[in-house]
């Protein structure tokens, strides 16, 4: 049995617990949150122990071999370092994994040194529509990418950012690109791994926060293709669109839906649209937003730990996604200047130090 401890009992934690519960060989034994009532509520539902301090959780449950980090994004790096270095536990990290490219390199290096496995979460890669398009690209069914576009038009009102002090900050959250857009940024890398340069502009248009809530970008592909990105959380009054579209030399594909779950255009074979779409209607509440990918992710994590089968998201893929994210920030920090992705990109703003906020999440 692989015993699991969860740090952070926000709204996605229950979705993790549901996925874990469905897989034989995995068990949630302890959960932790600074707001102990949240931890107790989750613990009661999944027959686990509740803690306010993750150090106490790990000290008292030494049979835990896998720790899930669902803390504020800006704390992922510090928490992962602590758990790997001082507790020698395997680690699952929710999106956006880390805020800086250098942090990705450092944590993977430390994990390798300590013979620890690191599992980043990019659950949309497991959607039927996404896998169909990826496979079609790999087998040449769609041909070479000529244009690729990601569009996210969602609504996050001021009350969303006012929920916690870390939200809407460069130090611990990032804006629309980092929090909401990271799934689509990752899919750009998943489908078009040969992005070479990006140019991005961003603004804050709909909320009183320090980070961007709207960004647009263009980029170049190594094969001569071009791409674009539009992400906003300033849409009102609801979420309207989250899509990724590929125009290729042999056909066109478009993925949309609440969580990249619907194949709405697939020109090589139109009937495949229905076959490779999933409406998520059977999933309760916010499960429709998160989809089924966490369940498949945990199946692969179990296979990696129990059967030594490589986890499908490699360190280099994780690094490419975060590096593209950093390149977008660096570009708009420099008024849309083109930024090359052939080296590790450093951004001034994203992930900058804020001890006042960090101190709130260090227990």
| Range list of β-strands (E), the chain | 2-7, 26-32, 49-51, 64-69, 90-93, 118-120, 145-153, 195-203, 214-221, 226-232, 241-248, 252-256, 262-266, 339-340
| Contact status, residue 57 vs residue 79, Cβ threshold 8 Å | no
| Contact status, residue 6 vs residue 28, Cβ threshold 8 Å | yes
Tell me the C-alpha distance between 87 and 61, whole Å: 11
Paired tokens of 236: 């009102």
pLDDT on residue 285: 75
Of the chain, the end-to-end C-alpha distance in Å amounts to 27
Q: How many residues are present in the chain?
A: 363
Tell me the C-alpha distance between 280 and 283, whole Å: 6
The DSSP symbol for 309 reads P
The DSSP symbol for 326 reads H
Q: Beta-carbon neighbour count of residue 349 at 10 Å?
A: 18
pLDDT on residue 317: 96
pLDDT on residue 339: 98
Domains of the chain: 2-123 (3.40.50.720), 125-283+313-340 (3.30.360.10)
To 5 degrees, how large is the angle CA 278–CA 283–CA 284? Answer: 150
To 5 degrees, how large is the angle CA 276–CA 280–CA 231? Answer: 85
Please provide residue 143's backbone torsions phi and psi, each rounded to the nearest 5 degrees: 85, -160
Three-state SS for 37-66 is: HHHHHHHHHHCCEEECCHHHHHHHCCCEEE
Q: What is the pTM of this model?
A: 0.97
pLDDT on residue 350: 98
| Contact status, residue 103 vs residue 347, Cβ threshold 8 Å | no
The DSSP symbol for 178 reads T
Tell me the C-alpha distance between 306 and 292, whole Å: 22
pLDDT on residue 281: 84
In a structure prediction context, what are the per-residue pLDDT tens digits for the chain, which is 363 residues long? 999 999 999 999 999 999 999 999 999 999 999 999 999 999 999 999 999 999 999 999 999 999 999 999 999 999 999 999 999 999 999 999 999 999 999 999 999 999 999 999 999 999 999 999 999 999 999 999 999 999 999 999 999 999 999 999 999 999 999 999 999 999 999 999 899 999 999 999 999 999 999 999 999 999 999 999 999 999 999 999 999 999 999 999 999 998 899 999 999 999 999 999 998 888 887 677 889 999 999 999 999 999 999 999 999 999 999 999 999 999 999 999 999 999 999 999 999 999 999 999 986
Burial class (CB in 10 A: 0-12, 13-18, 19+), 264: middle
For 299, the 3-state DSSP assignment is helix
pLDDT on residue 283: 85
pLDDT on residue 218: 98
């Amino acid at each position: 049995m692989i015993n699991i401890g969860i740090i952070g009992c926000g709204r996605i934690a229950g979705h993790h617990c549901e996925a874990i519960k469905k897989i034989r060989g995995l068990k949630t034994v302890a959960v932790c949150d600074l707001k102990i009532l949240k931890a107790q509520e989750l613990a009661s539902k999944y027959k686990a122990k509740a803690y306010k301090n993750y150090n106490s959780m790990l000290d008292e449950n030494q049979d835990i071999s896998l720790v899930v980090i669902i803390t504020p994004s800006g704390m992922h790096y510090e928490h992962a370092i602590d758990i790997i270095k001082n507790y020698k536990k395997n680690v699952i990290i929710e999106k956006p994994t880390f805020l800086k490219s250098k942090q990705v390199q450092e944590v993977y290096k430390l994990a390798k040194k300590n013979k620890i496995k690191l599992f980043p979460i990019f659950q949309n890669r497991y959607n039927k529509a996404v896998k169909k398009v990826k496979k079609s690209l790999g087998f040449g069914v769609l041909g070479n990418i000529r244009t690729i576009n990601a569009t996210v038009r969602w609504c996050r009102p001021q009350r969303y950012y006012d929920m916690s002090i870390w939200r809407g900050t460069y130090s611990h959250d990032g804006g629309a690109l980092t929090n909401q857009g990271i799934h689509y940024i990752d899919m750009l890398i998943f489908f078009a791994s040969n992005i070479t340069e990006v140019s991005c502009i961003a603004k804050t248009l709909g909320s009183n926060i320090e980070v961007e809530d709207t960004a647009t970008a263009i980029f170049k592909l190594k094969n001569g293709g071009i791409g674009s990105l539009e992400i906003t959380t300033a849409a009102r009054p609801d979420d309207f669109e989250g899509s990724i579209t590929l125009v290729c030399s042999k056909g066109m594909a478009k993925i949309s839906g609440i969580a990249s779950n619907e194949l709405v255009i697939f020109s090589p074979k139109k009937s495949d649209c229905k076959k490779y779409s999933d409406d998520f209607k059977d999933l309760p509440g916010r499960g429709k937003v998160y989809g089924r990918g966490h369940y498949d992710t945990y199946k692969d994590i179990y296979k990696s730990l129990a059967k030594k089968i490589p986890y499908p998201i490699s360190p280099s893929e994780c690094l490419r996604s975060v590096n593209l994210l950093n390149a977008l920030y660096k570009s708009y920090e420099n008024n849309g200047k083109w930024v090359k992705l052939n080296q590790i990109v450093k951004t001034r703003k994203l992930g900058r130090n804020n001890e006042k906020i960090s101190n709130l999440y260090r227990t």
